Structures are given as structure tokens and as C-alpha cells.
Structure 1
Amino acid sequence: MQYNAPLTEMQFLLKDVFRASEVWQSVPALAEAIDMDTAAAILEEGAKITQTLIAPLNRSGDEEGVQFDQGQVITPQGYKEAYTTYAESGWVGLSGEPEYGGMGMPKMLGVLFDEMVYSASNAFALYGSLTAGAALCIAAHGSEELKQTYLPKLYSGEWSGAMDMTEPQSGSDLSQLRTKAVAQEDGSYRLTGSKIFITGGDHDLTDNVVHLVLAKLPDAPGGSRGISLFLVPKRRVNDNGSVGDSNGVSCGAVEHKMGIKASATCVINFDDAQGYLVGKVNRGLVAMFTMMNYERLSIGIQGLGCSEAAYQLAASYAKERKQGKGSGRGLGGEADAIVVHGDVRRMLLEIASLTEAGRALSVYTGMQLDLAKHADGDVKKRAADQVAMLTPLAKAFFTDKGLEATVNAQQVFGGHGYIREWGVEQLVRDVRIAQIYEGTNGIQALDLLGRKVVANRGAGLLALKHQIERELADLGAAWQPQLQQLLALFDALLEKAQELANSSTKADAINSAATDYLHATGHAVYGWMWLKMVLAAEQGNQQPNFVERKAMLARYFFERQLPKAHYHLQIINQDPSVIMSMPNEWF
């Protein structure tokens, strides 16, 4: 697969739309770490490594897949060498804590590199993503001894990380966990149990795999209140930091999946394995969700990466494939390229308008994560509140639209889109999981509507509307109709939040409305991103073609995409009883 990182777009977002240099200068920890020249250099190097090292492995990795031989997990040919180069170049620790060997780069830069890696290869990206997430959790909740022992090895990529939550009888309902942890006299714990669907749970890329495992102590309270988090290395770590003997952690099987076939999805067994408490006893979910929220944004970006890769394949094909003639819109030759046909243009415009707005939202969310971590006072609190609201939205909306983008791209290819050699069918298969893991998109919708909107009666959305009004105060007269269209949509979302908060059947109403509400909100936030991009493009120093292209895509979005939000609101207005009243046995 040929992949070209959209560097001009990425630099535009950092420099002009979100004025990253001003953000970084306002935060001492970031001002010392980075400036725009450094950010540009990092993006350029990221483009090189994803285009030349990772993308060439995408199809061969899918064809070969992960192998399981006598208890050993073997990644596809070329993966180990590529991962070693990737790790030695510092990419695993890009946003890691500098005092433990990380590069300390801001997340609003990190999300752009994440997108590049996912565009190049979903399966390859997951190994580094899980490692970075595990390191983030250890850095936030681990003891100093754990940080000193494990973070440098994780940031360097010598060791990798995995998140062990799901069990055969316990998917999203973690209260049913059965993995047990027993305290030892030396302060460690012994863990016994099995986990399934563990991404990167075992492989041959690194010397050790560091598992973050949810388990229960014998005297733990019932339900999710009794869950603790433990760090459990695959191999013991010697006093000098070297890898020692086996630690009772083994892979029982690898899953045979629809997509991401080069990613090792494992059944992991713990047989009296030695582990160490992360955070506090019975407070494991608090610690784990530090990693989970990171992974949810990362998986959202998986959807974006697939959207971008699909667009590049489809746009290139549409300009080369000749079909029909006589339109008067052709690019030359006896037949017209299919890019002249209206329905093909519709699909390409849909992918582009949603992908570019999503990329902008990913950078904005990364910026809020940076401020929530490094800023002080009200700025820190506002950022944390926005992260809480935007994370479920980004995870679900990015991935729902990511699947739609890959399917549209496949349609542009016609029959060739169904053939493996063209590459787009792999994107359809690879991105499908992103709607499911790290909390299904239905769960994300319930989180957004129930916990982040209705619980505070829309206060967060109202604050966001006021922020949009301030940010777009300088928008020109030509874009005022779109701005008013957007603000009216936010008013409708706020009105619906109040209605749901006052509903006599609140639980049923939220359950039946959540997914449509998330999609309506996603379209609204994308509209905000488009107007921010239009304003920045008009006020910046971009090439005229760049500015006009942005304006065309923005107009397409407001005319052909934003109205879909009102469809979702209309669905929400229906009586929830049509969903909730049918007896269970009738299904």
C-alpha cells in the first residue's frame, strides 16, 4: 500500500488552527520541550518511518498473520526488525515522561504521529500504542520503584505493554472478574486466572511483556468496587534490571480474526504469577481507566488513520480508472476518469470532509489532554472536563465514520475493491474492530449522553457553545449562515439534554437515544472544527488552492453532512417504548 502522510494538513492544524506554539509557551513544561521547528521535524521523520518502514509491511503482515507454535507467538516476517528500528528511533516514548527516558512531547503532536502509524498499518500500530498506554498508567499510579524499573524499558521499546481486562465470562461487565490476587509477605502478590482478547499479550518483538492486570483480592468487596490493578511481567526482572526467569505468564492461544491479523490477540494465563500493586487496593478501575481513556482516543485515531489511507487509495484510483466518456469533465483521453462522475465525487467528498474534521478534533482533544496534565487552576479543570466529554465522542464517532469511509472507498473501486490485491478490503476488515474494543461504541454513547451530558443537564455542552461563539467571532459574513446553523444545532442538543434529564423514564430514554445523540453531537463538533479551519485558512499564509479547497469541503460538510444531525435528533424525539417494550422472548 502506498501511503503519504498529510504533512501540510497536520502542520496547518498545529500552526494556524490551534496555534500550538502559543499553547506550548503558556505551559512551562512544554515550552522547554518543544517549538514549531521541532514539531515539524518530528512530523517529517514520522512520515519517513511510516511510509518507508511500516506501510510496506501492511499487506504482507495481513497475508501471513501471527503464528502460534508450541506456545510461542511469532509475528510476521519483517515485523521484529521493523519494530526494533521503530523503538530505537524513540517513537514508543514520544510522549513519555522525560525523567524516565521518554521524549516528553505534547499529546497534540503525538496524535498526529499516531494517525500516521495507523494509516500505515493498523496491526503494527497496536504494539506501540498498548505499550505507551501501559507506561502512562504506571507513570500516573505506580510506585517510584515500579516507575524506575519499568518505564525506561517501556519507553525504549525494549519491553512492551498489554492491558488485561476481559475474561471469558466477563466482557464489559468487569464486576464478574474471577482472576485472583493473593498478598505475599514481601509486598508482592500472586495472580491466578485467565484473560482473553489481550492485544499484544505475547509476541517475539521484545524481551518482556508487561501486563497490567485487573484482579480481585480474596476479601475484596463485591462487584466492581473490589477490583485492584497489578503489574505482572511475563518474565521476572532481576535486581540489575535484566530479564530473568519465566513468571508463570503464558499464552494459551491466539485468536483468528476478521482483521488486524498481524496483531497478536491472545488468551493469557496467569499461574501463580508474581505481580505488584498499581495504585490502591480495590481502586484498580480508577488506575486502569487512565490507560483505557488513552487507548480509547488511540483507537478513535485508528478510525481516522484508516479513513485517510482509504481516501488516498480511492482518490488515486478515481483519477486513473477510465469508465465512460462524453461528460465534458474528463481529464483527457478517450474515456473519462471516474472522478468526474457525481456519485464517485460524493463518496470522495464525504470521506475527505469527515476525515479532515476528525483530524482537527483529534488535535484539539490532544491539546486538552496536555492542558489537563500540565496547566493550573481553571484552565486545567476546563481541559479535564472537555477531555471527559470528548473522549467517548472521539472514540465512537471517529471509528463509526472510519468504517463508513473505508466502505465508501471500497465502493469507489467497484469490483476491484473486493479483491485483496488492491488493499482497500483490508482496511474495511482492519477498522471494523475499532467500533468494538476498548468499550463498544454503544457504551461510549451511553457514557457521553448519560454521564457527560444529562448528568450535568448539558452544562458542558453549553460551555462549549459559548466557547464556539467566542472563537468564531471574527468569522466573515460569507460564513455567518453556517455559524448560525451550527449554533442552532447546539441549542437543539441542549434542549434534548434537558428533556432527557426531566424524563419520567430517564433510563429507557437515554438507552434508546444514546447512539443517535452521539452522532448528532459528532456532526455538531465537526461543524465547529470546519469553521475553525476555514477561519484559520483565510487568516493564514496558505496557498490559494489550499484555502479554496478547505472552503469547498466546508461547504460540502454543511450542506450534505451536518443536516444528518437533525435526522438523528428526529429519531431521538420518538417514544423509547418502541425499543424497550417488546418482550425478551420475542427476539
Structure 2
Amino acid sequence: MSDYTPPIDDIRFVMNHVADLGGILATERFSHVDADSIDAVITEVARFMADEVAPTNVDGDRIGSQWHASDGGPATVVTPDSFKSAYEKWVASGFGAMPFDPEYGGADFPWISAIAVQEMYTTSNMALSLCPLLTQGAIDAIHAHGSTEQKNTYLPKMMTGEWTGTMNLTEPQAGSDVGAVSTKAQPIADSDGAWSITGQKIYITYGEHDLAEQIIHLVLARTPGSAPGTKGISMFVVPKYLLNEDGSLGERNGAECVSIEHKLGIHGSPTCVMQFEGATGWLVGNEHDGMRNMFTMMNNARLSVGLQGLSLSDRAFQQSLQYAQDREQGTAPGAPKGAASPIIEHPDVRRMLMTQRAWIDAMRALVYTNAAALDRADAATDADEQRTWRELADLLIPLSKGLCTDVCNEMTSLALQIHGGMGYVEETGVAQHYRDARIAAIYEGTNGIQAADLVGRKLAMRSGGVITDLLDEFDLRVKELADIDGLATFPDRLSEAVWTAREATAHLVSIAGSDPRSLLASSTPYLRLLGTTVCAGFLAKSAIAASNGADYPADFLSAKVTGAKFFGEQILPTTAGLLAAVTSRADDLFALTSDQLL
């Protein structure tokens, strides 16, 4: 079982030299924040996560959260003792409030700094990190759409983590099809605008737990006479405990966790079935604006799930690297005859480790650049500038979420493979990362939905112009790469991948209006093709910065250049093989009847 070593230098390097933290802090919007303050936060968070949170990860998997029925009262959910201690210290640290509005207790730091904190939290213990992640989404929705009273009532304690939040969307018959929601909301006569909420929600992360005294549920429901589909959905805030006039906790509301799911992974995170029986709630925003309100938090939430792909890949890599250094097996090429070599000396093991390392650098470059684009859009004072950054952020969201979580399934699988038979044995702990990772490609919109969003909405932005603008930037970067010694064929491979991405993009733009089935059939290979190319383009920026002698140790900079070269030579060429899948029609997918598939 490996410890977790936060990759502080990697985080600092990508923030400063790929995502351009300096450019963000130079804007008037974030002029109150300085680089030294962010650096200090990263240093202290790294210590906190390694010492306080990472050791709880095994408890989350082996003990898990436990549901308990209660005689005459609502059921309870008990988390591992180590979770409670770590979460209490997290609340005391104040780091959770860092990116939020200072009017309600936040520090108003740029989102990219919150992403750095989230990366280390998620890598330390993904199951525990999901509690503040869901709270983040609820904060975003209330802050954007809630009344002044709701903001003043809920946000200060949610920002500190004293109170947590949930998003209650999914129902047994309404998964990705949110428009099928059937939970009902009835106005309560002679009340202060309160509503009675009745229905069942499933897959509610931290819908019930013992980490905080209060849980603020955001619930999608239908009001009387509302239109069918998504247009008839409204959002309500439903606290676990009603509040007294002085703000203290009052009587228990009619919201109960009736069971928790038994899952493949993230056992420490309770995934709850919530029953609302005449629970009292209040509208957030206007009636029938529930879907619009929900999408307020969608970009940040999807980016955070993409970050989970990076984080779990890194935790699995650290463990597999340690094992490969310690485990002796066979005689490696060049070793004395009959000597037992550490398996890291065997070429195939080294290939797997290099693949993990290169993809981790690539994912970090993608996710942090995505966060930086959100910050730059937020900070822009000119409408055209704001549109440019918002378009880039919107384009990168399905790549961050879809690509990083797909790749994470592969990287955690490689970690098992490096362990050999011991990887299949639970005692080593590496299987936990593989199991925990699997959910990330499913929730917050399956990766098929991310691919559909990419070709259906993001491709349509300026008829593919947002994508081709980014590819133009990479073409310019190829010329800079050609002047760097030691990159071998990386510039040529990047140029070829950019050409392939252009061909794929032009094809999809040409069929978007005439062949929607083929467009969607091409969406998943296109996401992989474009996402891999974009990662290579960002790694090119990393390699250029490293070769220009950034203020880091020489070995660190050399490793950045070598990692980019490896990605360019051994991973990036896969994009060429995806072009045929992107340009194929959907006919083959439907050539067999459903009976023939049996």
C-alpha cells in the first residue's frame, strides 16, 4: 500500500507555464490575489492531504458508509471514524471557501487554484472528496439563482463545509433523461412561499451522512400544471432540518434516506435513495427554471469529474511505480545472468509506467487549461474577449470530462497489470483505484453524452471555428517545437495529428445538418481523436517552457520534455487510426437487428 505524495512541482509548473496563472492574476478581476498566496495554499493543502486525508482512503473502501434503520425515526448513515476526523479538520482549515464570493465568507480566488486543491483532495480520497464536490455544485446554483435570503441563510455555512449540499435530479425512471422527472411540488397554503415536495430520488451522493449537522438538498420537481419534459421542471431548496427564526436547527424535514447502494467502488461515499414525503422546500429562482438553474453548476461539476480521472490515475501510478521499484522478478536485459531485477527494468513494465506518466501530464495540462479558460472568461471586460474564453472553456469541458475519465480506466488498469497477480489481490490496495475510477465515466453525464455534446453543441460553435482556432494555435507551436533538441519526431507527429483533427472536424461539420445518426455514431471516436490531439498541443507548450529553462530543477525540466516526446511518438499516432471511424456512416451500427445481436 503506497502513501500519497502530492505532485506540488507538477501542479505549479502546469499552472504557471501551461495554464498561464500569471495572466489570470494580471486581470482586474483577480488583482487582489497574488501568486505567493496561491503557492502557500498549495504547499499547506499538500501537507494536509498527505497527512490527514490520504490515510483514510483504505478505511473508506474496507469499512465504507453504513446505513442503519432507526426505531421510530429516520434512518442514519454512518461514515468511517477516520472520515469524520479528517472532514472536521477540513472544515477548520477554511480551504473549502477559497474560490467563493467573499460576501458570504469566501476568499474569491481563481477557479484554477480551487482545481489544484481538488486534485490533491481527490487523489487522497476520492470518496471523501465527493462531499465537498457536491456542496460546490449546490453553492453555485444557490449563488446564481437563489434569493438574497437564501444566499444569506445557506451559503456561509456551506462554504465552510459546516453544512453540505446535494443535487437531487435522478429518479428510477429518469436518469440522463431529466425531462422524465415526476417528483411533485405543491404550494403550501398560508405559508411564506413554501412548497410540499413528494417523490423519490436515487443516486444522491452524500444525501445522508454524519459529517455535518445540516444537509441542503436541491431538488428538481414539477409544480401543478407544468409542461411535460424539461420545460416543466423547477428547483427547490429542501434542508434536512428546518430552521428556527434565529437560524438554529429546528425540526427534522420530511426527507429521508431509505437505503444506500452497494457499489463497485467509492464505498466510503454514501449513494442514497432519498424519499421526500411532504418535505418543505422553497423555489430557487423562478418556477420552471429548474433545468437552467441546474446547468449553472454543470461546467464546474463536469470539469471536477474530469479531474477525478487525473487524480485516480496519479494515485494508481504512484503505487505502481513504488511496486515496480521494489518487486524483483526475472532478469532484465543487460543485468548479470541469473540476477533478479526490479521489474521497472523490464521494457514492457517501463512502457506501462511511461504511458501512465505521459497521460497524467497530458490530463493535468488539459484540466488546468480548462479551469484557466473559465477564469479568463469570468475576468474578461470586453464582450469579444469574454466570448473567446467562454467558447474555449465550453469546448474543453467534454474533453476534460470524457477523455480524462476514459483514460483513467485504462491507467488504473495498467497499475493492476504492473502488479501482476498481486494487483488482483485486494490486500495490495491497487484494485481500489481501478474500482473507484469506474464511476467517473458514468456520472455527471455519461461519456457518450459528453461525446454527443461535443459534436452536437460544441462543434456547432462558429461552425467548427472554435476547434479550428485551437488547431491553428497548435500549428504555430509545431514551428517552436522544431527548434528544440531531443524531441525527435514529436513536431511531425503533432502536425499530422492536427491535420487529422481538421479532416475529422470538417467531415462532421459537413454532415451535421443532414445525417444526425452518423454524427452521433462518430462522436466517441471523435472525442478521443480531438482530445488526444488537444492534449498533445498543450504538452507541446509544456515542452517549450521546460526547454526554455523555467525555474525548476534540470532533471524535472528534462522529464517534462521527455514525457511530451513519449506522448507525441507513442500515444499521439493513435489519432490517425481513428479518422476512419469518425468518417464512417452509422449504417454498420444498425446493420444487425436487435434479434441478430443475441
Q: Does 2:226 correspond to 1:213?
A: no
Q: Which of 443, 455, 460 does residue 466 from structure 2 map onto?
A: 460
Counterpart-to-counterpart distance in 2, 1:57 and 1:500: 46
Q: Which amino acid counterpart does residue 554 of structure 1 have in structure 2?
A: A
Q: Give 1:585 deviation, angstroms.
A: 3.6
Secondary structure, counterpart of 1:172 in structure 2: coil
| Contact 1:457–1:498 under 8 Å retained in 2 | no
Counterpart-to-counterpart distance in 1, 2:408 and 2:52: 24
Further displaced range: 560-569 or 454-463: 454-463
Q: Which amino acid counterpart does residue 545 of structure 2 have in structure 1?
A: A
Q: Which of 380, 388, 413 does residue 382 from structure 1 map onto?
A: 388
2:563 maps to 553
Q: Which of 472, 490, 501 does residue 509 from structure 2 map onto?
A: 501
| Contact 2:99–2:108 under 8 Å retained in 1 | yes
Q: Give 1:493 deviation, angstroms.
A: 2.4
| Contact 1:61–1:77 under 8 Å retained in 2 | no
Q: Which of 123, 130, 142 does residue 134 from structure 2 map onto?
A: 130
Counterpart-to-counterpart distance in 2, 1:455 and 1:383: 13
Q: Which amino acid counterpart does residue 451 of structure 1 have in structure 2?
A: R
Q: Give 1:513 deviation, angstroms.
A: 0.7
Q: Which amino acid counterpart does residue 245 of structure 1 have in structure 2?
A: E
Percent of matched pairs sharing the same residue: 37
2:372 maps to 367
| Contact 1:320–1:337 under 8 Å retained in 2 | yes
Counterpart-to-counterpart distance in 2, 1:486 and 1:454: 24
Which deviations, in whole Å up to 9, do the C-alpha atoms of 1:344-364 show, x marking residues without a partner? 011101111011111111111
Alpha-carbon distance change, 484 to 144 in structure 1, aligned in 2, over 3 angstroms: farther
Counterpart-to-counterpart distance in 1, 2:62 and 2:419: 21
Counterpart-to-counterpart distance in 2, 1:214 and 1:372: 28
TM-score, normalising length from structure 1? Answer: 0.96
Q: Which of 77, 80, 85 does residue 81 from structure 1 map onto?
A: 85
1:30 maps to 30
Q: Does 2:5 correspond to 1:4?
A: yes
Which deviations, in whole Å up to 9, do the C-alpha atoms of 1:511-534 show, x marking residues without a partner? 211110000011101101110100
Q: Give 1:130 deviation, angstroms.
A: 0.7
1:526 maps to 535
1:357 maps to 362
Q: Give 1:118 deviation, angstroms.
A: 1.1
Counterpart-to-counterpart distance in 1, 2:504 and 2:13: 35
Q: Which amino acid counterpart does residue 92 of structure 1 have in structure 2?
A: G
Secondary structure, counterpart of 1:241 in structure 2: coil
Alpha-carbon distance change, 152 to 508 in structure 1, aligned in 2, over 3 angstroms: same
Q: Give 1:573 deviation, angstroms.
A: 2.5
Counterpart-to-counterpart distance in 1, 2:515 and 2:159: 45
Q: Give 1:471 deviation, angstroms.
A: 5.9
Q: Does 2:271 correspond to 1:262?
A: no
Alpha-carbon distance change, 333 to 218 in structure 1, aligned in 2, over 3 angstroms: farther
Q: Does 2:420 correspond to 1:417?
A: no
Further displaced range: 347-356 or 567-576: 567-576
Q: Does 2:306 correspond to 1:297?
A: no
Counterpart-to-counterpart distance in 2, 1:187 and 1:490: 55
Q: Give 1:484 deviation, angstroms.
A: 4.8
Counterpart-to-counterpart distance in 2, 1:329 and 1:143: 70
Q: Give 1:498 deviation, angstroms.
A: 2.9
Q: Give 1:561 deviation, angstroms.
A: 0.3
Secondary structure, counterpart of 1:193 in structure 2: strand
Alpha-carbon distance change, 326 to 345 in structure 1, aligned in 2, over 3 angstroms: closer
Map 1:441-460 to 2 at 5 A: 441-454=447-460, 456-460=462-466
Q: Give 1:341 deviation, angstroms.
A: 0.7
| Contact 1:508–1:580 under 8 Å retained in 2 | no
Further displaced range: 449-458 or 233-242: 449-458
| Contact 1:279–1:287 under 8 Å retained in 2 | yes
Counterpart-to-counterpart distance in 1, 2:298 and 2:498: 29
Counterpart-to-counterpart distance in 1, 2:246 and 2:335: 69
Counterpart-to-counterpart distance in 2, 1:151 and 1:264: 23
| Contact 2:474–2:498 under 8 Å retained in 1 | no
Q: Give 1:50 deviation, angstroms.
A: 0.9
Q: Which amino acid counterpart does residue 553 of structure 2 have in structure 1?
A: Q
| Contact 1:399–1:434 under 8 Å retained in 2 | yes
Counterpart-to-counterpart distance in 2, 1:22 and 1:436: 34
1:145 maps to 149
Q: Which of 158, 167, 175 does residue 179 from structure 2 map onto?
A: 175
Counterpart-to-counterpart distance in 2, 1:505 and 1:584: 25
In structure 2, runs of 5+ residues without a counterpart are 70-74
Alpha-carbon distance change, 560 to 272 in structure 1, aligned in 2, over 3 angstroms: same
Q: Give 1:152 deviation, angstroms.
A: 0.1
| Contact 1:454–1:497 under 8 Å retained in 2 | no
Which deviations, in whole Å up to 9, do the C-alpha atoms of 1:413-454 show, x marking residues without a partner? 001111112111000000000011111001101101121114
Secondary structure, counterpart of 2:259 in structure 1: strand
| Contact 1:188–1:274 under 8 Å retained in 2 | yes
Q: Which amino acid counterpart does residue 381 of structure 2 have in structure 1?
A: D
| Contact 1:92–1:131 under 8 Å retained in 2 | no
Q: Which of 110, 114, 129 does residue 114 from structure 2 map onto?
A: 110
1:320 maps to 326
Alpha-carbon distance change, 523 to 384 in structure 1, aligned in 2, over 3 angstroms: same
Q: Does 2:570 correspond to 1:565?
A: no
| Contact 1:87–1:156 under 8 Å retained in 2 | yes
| Contact 1:250–1:270 under 8 Å retained in 2 | yes
The runs of at least 4 aligned residues of structure 1 exceeding 6 Å deviation read none
Q: Give 1:266 deviation, angstroms.
A: 0.1
Map 1:56-75 to 2 at 5 A: 56-70=55-69, 71-75=75-79
Q: Does 2:283 correspond to 1:277?
A: yes
Further displaced range: 497-506 or 194-203: 497-506
| Contact 1:3–1:51 under 8 Å retained in 2 | yes
Further displaced range: 576-585 or 388-397: 576-585
Q: Give 1:480 deviation, angstroms.
A: 9.2
Counterpart-to-counterpart distance in 2, 1:380 and 1:182: 40
TM-score, normalising length from structure 2? Answer: 0.94
- Count of residue pairs the alignment pairs up: 584
2:347 maps to 342
Secondary structure, counterpart of 1:311 in structure 2: helix
Q: Give 1:342 deviation, angstroms.
A: 0.9
In structure 1, runs of 5+ residues without a counterpart are none
Counterpart-to-counterpart distance in 2, 1:329 and 1:576: 52
Further displaced range: 449-458 or 390-399: 449-458
